[in-house]
Structure 1
Amino acid sequence: MTGPAAQRRPSELALRTVSGVILALAAIGIAWLGGPAFGLFWTLAGCVVGVEWAWLATPDPAARRRAARVVAVTLGGAGALFTLGRTLGLDVGVTVPLAMLLTGAVVAAAIARPATIAGFGVLYGAAVFLGAILLRSDPADGLLAILWLFAVVWGADVAAYAVGRTVGGPKLAPALSPKKTWSGAIGGAVAGPALGVGVAAWWGVESLWPLAVVGFAVAVATEVGDLFESGAKRRFGAKDSGQIIPGHGGAMDRLDGFLVAATLAAIIGLSRGGLDAAAQGLMRW
């Protein structure tokens, strides 16, 4: 193929690659720093995701603006409280932030009527930061858990894209996302856990087979989150959730798999290690 269309494709891929590398380096740097900076960074990301959802889900312009403001304020307040409680040891607990999120979701849904699905933006955005903050706040293995999570999610995402484009084959879920293939899904489900095991081995973790199994579940969760967001965009009649990230679209487009994966990883860690040792519960078997 020649002409303008052929010239745009390499430039779009290059833009996507550069943006992805910059975002990955920023995420790793913030993860290394930890503390309140980490929590506030991911809270901000969650706010953007929640607002994008509310914006897409609410057709009426006036209701859209009101719902988006409620979503942003709710996520910002709950995320800040959760961050302060987990990183500075303040007696905030988790009940108050969770109550704020549920209340904000109900209020946003009421404001956006009849597009009450806009209220889900609060819960969707919260999934971006709750699990990540919970894991990173573990003083023993917090950084390891986040780096492992990045490895699994990014490995699954990149491999699914590369294998799907190279191998092709039957479509995975054409009603939700017409471009995704079974070959890409399998490639991502293999590469994600493998990369996660590599990070854990480099860190010195001894029991790796359980992490391979957990990594497989988290990689599949990443792909499920991607499919869910693709289906939601089709439902809302949008190609991208926004234009905030060059080459990628909106924050929802970039974090759709991560928010589901982080939530699952945090639930696993929480079930084994509790609130104060969720990362150990996830990484040590």
Structure 2
Amino acid sequence: MADPLALTPKSSYAELPLRIVSAILIAPPAVAAIWLGTPYIEMVVLAAVFMMAVEWARLVGHDRNPWLIGAMTAGAPQPVIGYFFGGFDIAAILTAILFLAMLVMAKIAKLPRGLWLAAGIPVIVLPAISLLFIRNDPMGVQTALWLVAVIAATDIGAYFSGRTIGGPKLAPRISPKKTWAGLIGGMLSAALVGTATILLIGEGDIPLIAVVSAIMAVVAQMGDLSESAVKRHFGVKDSGAIIPGHGGLFDRLDGFITSLPTIALATALSGASVLQWH
């Protein structure tokens, strides 16, 4: 969801073809993995974690150090593998150990931006584990696909409403292209997707899930803005180049960095999928 919120009513839709291409490349394998479950979802998650580890090293300025890239790409998947065999407790312990190990390694080697590098471990691992946790719920398929649809709707609604309406900027110091009109358009689109989901599955509270969906649009935008803030801090335009000229995996999945842990936590605390809330 890289910069979907627009500048002015006169903004062009030049990015639209690249957005469609990125959706075609990323969405089908992700949706198929969610639908099919084990072992496909684990394979896709591990591949994504590996790629995001490389991108994070690049993002925080360590892309020319093969040792650090190796440490990130070898370390980041370990908590996810630990989750496969030992559940959340093992994954949490491994995440903490790896975070501290990266800090110590950076300190010993007197590397700059060591804290930033170590921060990539929880940033990458928590959404990955959250997706697996959500998928393992009895309503996991529906919940995961609902969230994918909500984030996609947020992106689309924000893109078109932002470029059509324009207006005041949402966070000009972090991401100058985003507008309040785009955010509101994304929230409305997400609420419509939430409503359609409840009508489709035949259970749940429509007004409640519509509101939850709109809130998730805001949570996703927080992930988007957070990634934009990191890129601005390090002077990086894109996290990678999966789609030439249109960014990397972090740029495409930034909304899920915040939304997946939020939904996983809500599911764990309530003991039920959000789609079953009343």
TM bucket (normalised to shorter chain) is 0.7 to 0.9
Give the counterpart letter for 1:218 in structure 2. Answer: M
2:149 equivalent among 148, 151, 154: 151
- 1:80 deviates by 2.0
Structure 2 equivalent of residue 129 of structure 1: 128
1:40 pairs with 2:43: yes
- 1:225 deviates by 0.5
Q: Which has the higher contact order (CA 8 A, sep 6+)?
A: 2
C-alpha separation between the residues in 2 aligned to 1:261 and 1:207?
20
1:61 equivalent among 64, 68, 87: 64
Cα deviation, 1:226-280, whole Å, max 9, x if unaligned, reads 011111101011100010234531111011111211111111111011xxxxxx3
2:18 equivalent among 10, 15, 18: 15
C-alpha separation between the residues in 1 aligned to 2:129 and 2:59?
23
Structure 2 equivalent of residue 24 of structure 1: 27
Structure 1 equivalent of residue 239 of structure 2: 241
1:193 pairs with 2:196: no
Q: Which segments of 5 or more consecutive residues in structure 1 lack a partner in the other structure?
A: 1-8, 86-91, 274-279
Instruction: Give TM-score, length-normalised by structure 1.
Output: 0.85
Q: Which segments of 5 or more consecutive residues in structure 2 lack a partner in the other structure?
A: 1-11
C-alpha separation between the residues in 2 aligned to 1:148 and 1:227?
22
1:52 equivalent among 55, 58, 75: 55
Structure 2 equivalent of residue 71 of structure 1: 72
SS across alignment from 2:87? coil
Q: Which moved more, 1:146-155 or 1:73-82?
A: 73-82
Query: Structure 1 residues 57, 283: CA separation in 2 closer, same or farther (over 3 Å shift)?
Result: same
C-alpha separation between the residues in 2 aligned to 1:149 and 1:217?
12
C-alpha separation between the residues in 2 aligned to 1:58 and 1:108?
15
1:99 pairs with 2:93: yes
Give the counterpart letter for 1:108 in structure 2. Answer: M
Q: Which moved more, 1:191-200 or 1:178-187?
A: 191-200
Residues 219 and 258 in structure 2, CA contact (< 8 A), matched pair in contact too: yes
SS across alignment from 2:76? helix
Percentage of identical aligned residues: 34
- 1:16 deviates by 2.8
C-alpha separation between the residues in 1 aligned to 2:122 and 2:220?
17
Query: Structure 1 residues 59, 80: CA separation in 2 closer, same or farther (over 3 Å shift)?
Result: closer
C-alpha separation between the residues in 2 aligned to 1:66 and 1:197?
48
Cα deviation, 1:187-214, whole Å, max 9, x if unaligned, reads 1112112212212321112322221222
May I ask how many residue pairs the two structures share in their alignment?
A: 261
Residues 167 and 180 in structure 2, CA contact (< 8 A), matched pair in contact too: yes
C-alpha separation between the residues in 1 aligned to 2:241 and 2:128?
21
Instruction: Give TM-score, length-normalised by structure 2.
Output: 0.87
Structure 2 equivalent of residue 282 of structure 1: 274
Residues 140 and 273 in structure 2, CA contact (< 8 A), matched pair in contact too: no
C-alpha separation between the residues in 2 aligned to 1:45 and 1:108?
20
Residues 159 and 187 in structure 1, CA contact (< 8 A), matched pair in contact too: yes
Structure 2 equivalent of residue 89 of structure 1: none
Query: Structure 1 residues 268, 18: CA separation in 2 closer, same or farther (over 3 Å shift)?
Result: same
Residues 109 and 120 in structure 1, CA contact (< 8 A), matched pair in contact too: no
Query: Structure 1 residues 19, 281: CA separation in 2 closer, same or farther (over 3 Å shift)?
Result: closer
2:103 equivalent among 98, 103, 109: 109
Residues 46 and 127 in structure 1, CA contact (< 8 A), matched pair in contact too: no
Structure 2 equivalent of residue 119 of structure 1: 118
Cα deviation, 1:159-196, whole Å, max 9, x if unaligned, reads 11111111111111010001011100111112112212
